[in-house]
Amino acid sequence: GPAPPAEKAAAAPTPSPGPPPAATAAAPAQANGHAPAGERLFISPLARRMARQAGLDPATLVGSGPSGRIVKADIEAALRQAPPAAPQAAAPATPPPAPALRAGAITAPHDLVPHSSMRKVIARRLVEAKQQIPHFYITLDVALDALLDLRAALNAKSAKEGPGAFKLSVNDLLIKAAAIALRRVPKVNASFTEDGIAFYRDVDISIAVAIPDGLITPIIRHADEKGLAAISNEMKTLAARARAGKLKPEEFQGGGFSISNLGMYGVREFAAIINPPQSAILAIGAGEKRPVVKEGALAIATLMTCTLSVDHRVVDGALGAEWLAAFKAIVEDPLSLML
């Protein structure tokens, strides 16, 4: 009968009277089910799509449509009669890709030393500091000649030994200078919190000290209220206890401002990472003889390059510059250290 409406047959010549259709000219499919070589295969688009999806070869089918056309019903009949298709062999498993190297992975021969507890804490805190604190940096040169003269004069007056003996270092005088500058510009002595800016009432200065396992920052508390000899002796005691691993938590936890001095290594200048939750750290370089111009004439002076790292959430540029200028003025006219 005629093909279903969804399968419009292609126009075919009107058959002439004669023998039954089976005896007419060769049908599109032979009795053995194969189309003769080179002969066109008549199949509706829907049947072709169904055969492809079912994995059937339409050339092996006999069409029941007009002029032997293979139609939907032929595909459905073949599917009912055909044995289940053998499952296709599984494709060979693709070997997993080689694991990608992590960023910073070490491929060269090396010896691995596990992290100490201190190194883990240092790493975590410094990463937090750089990720969470918007650093900015202010640098200037400070003349040391007057401070060096004062140091030499004071050390010359110290007893050789005994309770009143002292030996001032340049760093001792710089700690005191930073403490006085924090009194003059107190808004730098602060920390950022989610609720507001915390301004510290006391001037407690953390001093970076290198130890075998890393770095620790013992604190000179009330540094603005202590004399130079007291700061010097306390700093020596704290540094020795730090290197021996004998600091108490209250001796290194806290502080409102930090100092890191690499001048003894000949480092000219560097920028330090802020010690959270503080908002500023002063990096001190080596004192060097450099040419300067004084009153229009060339001269030689001992200059020290200082860089202040600042948390911009707490300290703006002008405020940071004000503090650094105050520190410079105190160091270059150090008699105020005696007051």
* pLDDT tens digits, 310-326: 999 999 999 999 999 99
Per-residue confidence (pLDDT) for residue 172, from 0 to 100: 98
Q: Which of 81, 98, 116 is the last residue of a domain?
A: 81
- Whether 161 and 271 map to the same domain: the answer is yes
CATH number for the domain that contains residue 300: 3.30.559.10
| 156 within some domain | yes
What mean pLDDT do residues 195-215 have? Answer: 96
Task: Using pLDDT thresholds of 50, 70 and 90, give the confidence band for residue 15.
Answer: very low
- Whether 154 and 55 map to the same domain: the answer is no
- Whether 133 and 52 map to the same domain: the answer is no
In 10 A of CB 37, how many CB atoms? 5
| 48 within some domain | yes
- Whether 151 and 291 map to the same domain: the answer is yes
- Whether 253 and 173 map to the same domain: the answer is yes
- Whether 305 and 210 map to the same domain: the answer is yes
Q: Which of 34, 115, 135, 312 is catalytic?
A: 312
Helix 170-184 × helix 228-243 angle, to 10°: 110
Tokens of 26: 């060769």
In 10 A of CB 187, how many CB atoms? 16
Task: Please state the domain count of the chain.
Answer: 2
- Whether 72 and 171 map to the same domain: the answer is no
Question: Which candidate, 176, 261, 253, places its Cα nearest to that of 219?
Answer: 253
Question: Which candidate, 131, 173, 162, places its Cα nearest to that of 336?
Answer: 173
Asked if residue 238 has pLDDT above 90, the reply is: yes
Per-residue confidence (pLDDT) for residue 149, from 0 to 100: 97
| 212 within some domain | yes
Q: How many residues are recorded in the chain?
A: 339
CATH number for the domain that contains residue 73: 4.10.320.10
Quick one: what percent of the chain has pLDDT higher than 70?
Answer: 82
- Whether 213 and 296 map to the same domain: the answer is yes
What mean pLDDT do residues 138-143 have? Answer: 98
Note whether 283 and 135 are within 8 A (CB): no
What mean pLDDT do residues 69-91 have? Answer: 71
| 293 within some domain | yes
Catalytic status, residue 135: no
| 148 within some domain | yes
Neighbouring C-alpha atoms within 13 Å toward the C-beta of 288: 15
- Whether 227 and 313 map to the same domain: the answer is yes
For the chain, the three-class secondary structure string (H helix, E strand, C coil) is CCCCCCCCCCCCCCCCCCCCHHHCCCCCCCCCCCCCCCCCCCECHHHHHHHHHHCCCHHHCCCCCHHHCECHHHHHHHHHHCCCCCCCCCCCCCCCCCCCCCCCCCCCCCCCCCCCHHHHHHHHHHHHHHHHCCEEEEEEEEECHHHHHHHHHHHHHCCCCCCCCCCCCHHHHHHHHHHHHHHHCHHHCEEEECCEEEECCCCCEEECEEECCEEECCEECCHHHCCHHHHHHHHHHHHHHHHCCCCCHHHHCCCCEEEEECHHHCCCCCCCCCCCCECEEEEEEEEEEEEEEECCEEEEEEEEEEEEEEECCCCCHHHHHHHHHHHHHHHHCHHHHHC
What mean pLDDT do residues 3-32 have? Answer: 39
- Whether 274 and 332 map to the same domain: the answer is yes
Quick one: what percent of the chain has pLDDT higher than 90?
Answer: 63
Question: Which one is predicted more confidently, 43 or 197?
Answer: 197
- Whether 252 and 317 map to the same domain: the answer is yes
Note whether 269 and 139 are within 8 A (CB): yes
What mean pLDDT do residues 124-138 have? Answer: 96
Q: What is the pLDDT of residues 20-78, one digit of tens each?
A: 433 333 334 343 344 554 457 788 888 888 888 888 888 888 888 887 788 888 888 88
β-bridge partners, 291: 300
CA distance 72 to 174: 96
Question: Which residue type sits at 67?
Answer: S
| 45 within some domain | yes
Q: Which of 61, 81, 101 is the last residue of a domain?
A: 81
- Whether 171 and 311 map to the same domain: the answer is yes
| 289 within some domain | yes
| 176 within some domain | yes
Residue whose entry in the numeric block shows the structure tokens 């001190």? 284
What mean pLDDT do residues 253-280 have? Answer: 97
Range of the domain at 155: 128-338
